[in-house]
């Protein structure tokens, strides 16, 4: 009792600590959880679709070598923007912020020159062309171009499209006091403004992207979300929260989804979109140098950017926009925005529902309780099985849900807690069992069979009680047929060898099928299932053992025939029912056995096998629970000697036995006529049965049995209330 209490206390402590870790998400736990999710992503990356309408124009090292160091003149960016639209881009987004004027513009060059004491330069001729920034603004305004903003401390620009909220602002949204934005004339020219702030985990790896962030008093869509809007020609975005959807959110508003135009995108409670990365793909990237490589229309360029949303960003190391993802240690930040757009356009969404954490907590508690329950019942292997099953199930469920349902499930705590309960609990249980085992052996080894001691040690309080217990058992009696003939003229040594050969073969089969061997009775064996250890499906296990028992008897017979001895066979009686089970006998000698009417019936059934020409007879409860792959063939309704009511006797055969269906149908027809006193019809059917062949069933013996009875009934008809049963006088 003390050990049981300690086990439950320890399991409760572990479950509470595990639940607290899941809820509070401390940094070490987050790191382990993220590593597990990264492993799943690496096993199952998102398949990249080359036809996806998303492309990247990359300011790479080669482009810097071709056009000089960054920042480039805005006239070059204007020319590149015009060229992208000329070649069919449906929208262009810059993963770059332009907060200061272009220093290469003539008026800015003049200011810089004079600041350092140079001679006064003539003012640029206004008629000669606009400033570089104005030219870039003109190019930005020429198409659905989206510029970027980032979290900062400055004023938030006027947004071309806002974010409406259904319900209150989600409390967990990424927030900034203000914004870092572009020159006012560039912001005014842009068709959209989107946030480029990327969230990174505790280890600096980007796994989610905020689709909506708070800047000052405004909600700002992400760059990818705003590009999606302008590409559709939509007016704005709608952020749906738990307050408006009726979903559970733990008492506060949580983000649920963002609708942009015709597309609704599920998000996590903090407004983040969980990215399923495809990884670095050269097919989506075109360097700036390649865009500007030739004059006029370039069919190859049109093939790469035409009909696509184009993101402009940089992979150059010196521009410091390099990120880590679960698939790549270093990728340009613009790639993450492209991955988001590809997923959204493809309708491929990873989700971690708000209730998922609650489900993980429930599974964690159930796993801890299952292990504790098994340990409290002194079943350490069961406890280990529960721990392994829960842990393996959680580990398998995470990638399975990820692949099949695109759902993110965290297996870390669910898989860990059962083992944290099991290891100390099992150690304490082993110590207690060892003490109890030594005590039991010291007290009972002199009168309890040695092979029964391990079972007694596993549950001494129940096994050693003189009152025993009642349980449903499946009992089998197995008898060697042909023993008398085979033993004639044999020496005692040969008889013992013969019996032991048979019993050894059959016993190995019984043990392999989890039976408890009760006793050996000369050339016969009694065994049972579902005690001392309860077994689910013990009827199916017992029925499944019968063909192997028959095969074992045949092996023993083959060995005997090889030595010049007569062949032997086997008769089996099998029955299921309630019986008393426990240690029975005297103080000097105890035997673990079972008693009861159901046990007696099993013994009677074994004796009936000779009468019906079959090798096994089973009782009605066993036949009713016949497992798949076997068929119970009803033989007779008999009143067995010593029993008050008639019982249905059947024989069990493999379902694939040739001719079984025909024999079963003929026998059913014959027995039905017999039961209703239709002697002529019954005789005809049994004559038909007599001519049929069925392995392991002598149909002639069975048919003759009934034909003799019919002849008797013709001479002395049965009473009016006869139910078709037959009184078996022999045991």
pLDDT at residue 124, as a whole number = 47
Inter-residue contact 316 to 70 (CB < 8 Å):
yes
Inter-residue contact 726 to 709 (CB < 8 Å):
yes
Structure-block tokens of residue 519: 């006793």
DSSP 151: E
pLDDT digits (tens, 9 = 90+) for 467-519: 568 899 999 999 998 777 777 767 788 788 788 888 888 988 998 888 888 88
CB neighbourhood size of 130 (10 A):
15
448: confidence class by pLDDT, cuts 50, 70, 90: very low
CB neighbourhood size of 467 (10 A):
7
Distance CA 249, CA 242 (A): 6
Maximal C-alpha separation, the chain: 144
Inter-residue contact 232 to 172 (CB < 8 Å):
no
Average pLDDT over residues 131-139: 93
Residue closest to 193 by CA, chosen among 95, 282, 286, 100? 95
The DSSP result for 641-703, as a single string, is TT-SS-EEEEEEEETT-TTHHHHHHHHHHHHHHHHTT-HHHHHHHHHHHHT--BTTB-HHHHH
Residue closest to 452 by CA, chosen among 579, 592, 588? 592
pLDDT digits (tens, 9 = 90+) for 411-426: 888 888 888 887 776 6
Domain boundary assignment for the chain: 2-43+353-439, 54-118+130-346, 454-625
pLDDT at residue 277, as a whole number = 93
Among the ranges given (194-208, 306-320, 436-450), the one the predictor scored with the smallest mean pLDDT: 436-450
Mean pLDDT of the chain: 85
Work out the percent of the chain whose per-residue pLDDT is above 90. Answer: 50
CATH homologous superfamily for the domain 454-625: Nucleotide cyclase, GGDEF domain (3.30.70.1230)
pLDDT digits (tens, 9 = 90+) for 613-665: 999 999 999 999 999 999 999 999 998 766 668 899 999 999 999 999 999 99
Distance CA 477, CA 547 (A): 14
pLDDT digits (tens, 9 = 90+) for 167-213: 778 888 999 999 999 999 999 999 999 999 887 777 889 989 999 99
| Model pTM score | 0.57
DSSP 424: H
Q: Does the structure show a pLDDT above 70 at 590?
A: no
Q: CA 17, 19, 24, 30 torsion: positive or negative?
A: positive
pLDDT at residue 405, as a whole number = 83
Chain Cα centroid distance, residue 538? 27
């Amino acid at each position: 009792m003390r050990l049981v209490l300690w086990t439950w206390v320890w399991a409760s402590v572990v479950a509470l600590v595990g639940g607290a870790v899941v809820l509070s998400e401390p940094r070490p736990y987050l790191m382990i959880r993220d590593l597990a999710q990264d492993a799943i992503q690496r096993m199952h990356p998102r398949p990249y679709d080359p036809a996806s309408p998303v492309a990247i124009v990359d300011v790479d090292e080669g482009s810097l070598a071709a056009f000089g160091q960054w920042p480039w003149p805005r006239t070059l960016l204007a020319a590149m923007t015009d060229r992208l639209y000329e070649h069919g881009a449906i929208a262009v987004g810059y993963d770059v912020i332009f907060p200061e004027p272009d220093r290469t513009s003539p008026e800015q060059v003049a200011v810089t020159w004079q600041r350092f004491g140079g001679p006064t330069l003539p003012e640029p001729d206004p008629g000669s062309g606009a400033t570089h920034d104005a030219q870039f603004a003109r190019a930005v305004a020429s198409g659905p171009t989206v510029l970027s903003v980032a979290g900062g401390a400055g004023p938030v620009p006027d947004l071309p499209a806002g974010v409406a909220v259904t319900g209150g602002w989600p409390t967990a949204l990424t927030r900034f006091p203000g914004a870092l934005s572009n020159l006012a004339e560039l912001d005014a020219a842009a068709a959209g403004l989107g946030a480029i702030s990327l969230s990174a985990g505790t280890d600096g790896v980007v796994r989610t992207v905020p689709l909506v962030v708070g800047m000052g008093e405004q909600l700002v869509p992400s760059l990818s979300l705003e590009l999606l809007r302008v590409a559709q020609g939509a007016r704005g975005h709608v952020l749906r929260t738990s307050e408006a959807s009726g979903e559970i959110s733990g008492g506060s508003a949580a983000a649920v989804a963002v609708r942009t135009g015709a597309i609704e995108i599920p998000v996590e409670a903090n407004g983040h979109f969980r990215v399923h990365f495809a990884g670095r793909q050269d097919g989506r990237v075109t360097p700036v140098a390649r865009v500007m490589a030739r004059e006029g229309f370039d069919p190859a360029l049109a093939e790469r950017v035409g009909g696509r949303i184009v993101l402009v960003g940089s992979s150059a190391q010196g521009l410091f926009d390099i990120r880590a993802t679960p698939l790549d240690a270093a990728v340009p930040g613009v790639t993450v925005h492209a991955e988001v757009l590809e997923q959204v356009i493809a309708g491929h969404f990873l989700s971690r529902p708000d209730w998922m954490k609650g489900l993980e907590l429930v599974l964690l508690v159930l796993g801890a309780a299952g292990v504790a329950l098994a340990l409290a019942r002194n079943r350490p292997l069961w406890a280990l099985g529960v721990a392994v099953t829960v842990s393996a199930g959680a580990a398998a469920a995470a990638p399975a849900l990820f692949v099949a349902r695109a759902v993110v499930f965290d297996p870390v705590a669910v898989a860990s807690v059962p083992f944290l309960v099991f290891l100390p609990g099992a150690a304490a249980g082993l110590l207690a069992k060892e003490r109890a085992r030594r005590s039991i052996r010291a007290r009972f080894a002199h009168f309890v069979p040695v092979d029964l001691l391990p079972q007694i040690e596993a549950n001494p309080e129940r096994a050693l009680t003189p009152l025993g217990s009642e349980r449903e058992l499946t009992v089998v009696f197995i008898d060697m047929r042909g023993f008398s003939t085979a033993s004639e003229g044999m020496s005692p040594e040969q008889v013992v060898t013969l019996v032991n050969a048979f019993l050894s073969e059959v016993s190995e089969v019984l043990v392999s099928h989890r039976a408890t061997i009760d006793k050996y009775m000369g050339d016969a064996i009694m065994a049972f299932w579902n005690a001392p250890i309860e077994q689910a499906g013990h009827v199916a296990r017992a029925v499944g053992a019968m063909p192997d028992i028959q095969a074992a008897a045949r092996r023993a017979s083959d060995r005997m025939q090889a030595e010049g001895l007569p062949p032997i066979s086997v008769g089996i009686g099998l029955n299921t029912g309630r019986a008393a089970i426990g240690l029975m006998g005297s103080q000097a000698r105890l035997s673990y056995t079972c008693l009861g009417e159901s046990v007696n019936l099993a013994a009677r059934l074994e004796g009936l096998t000779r009468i019906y020409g079959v090798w096994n007879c089973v009782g009605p409860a066993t036949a009713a629970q016949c497992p798949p792959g076997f068929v119970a063939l009803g033989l007779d309704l008999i009143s067995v000697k010593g029993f008050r009511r008639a019982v249905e006797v059947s024989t069990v055969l493999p379902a694939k036995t040739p001719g079984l269906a025909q024999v079963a149908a003929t026998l059913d027809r014959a027995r039905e006529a017999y039961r209703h006193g239709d002697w002529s019809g019954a005789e005809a059917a049994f004559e038909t049965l007599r001519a049929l062949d069925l392995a392991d069933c002598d149909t002639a013996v069975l048919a003759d049995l009934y034909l003799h009875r019919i002849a008797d009934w013709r001479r002395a008809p049965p009473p009016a209330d006869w139910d078709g049963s037959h009184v078996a006088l022999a045991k």
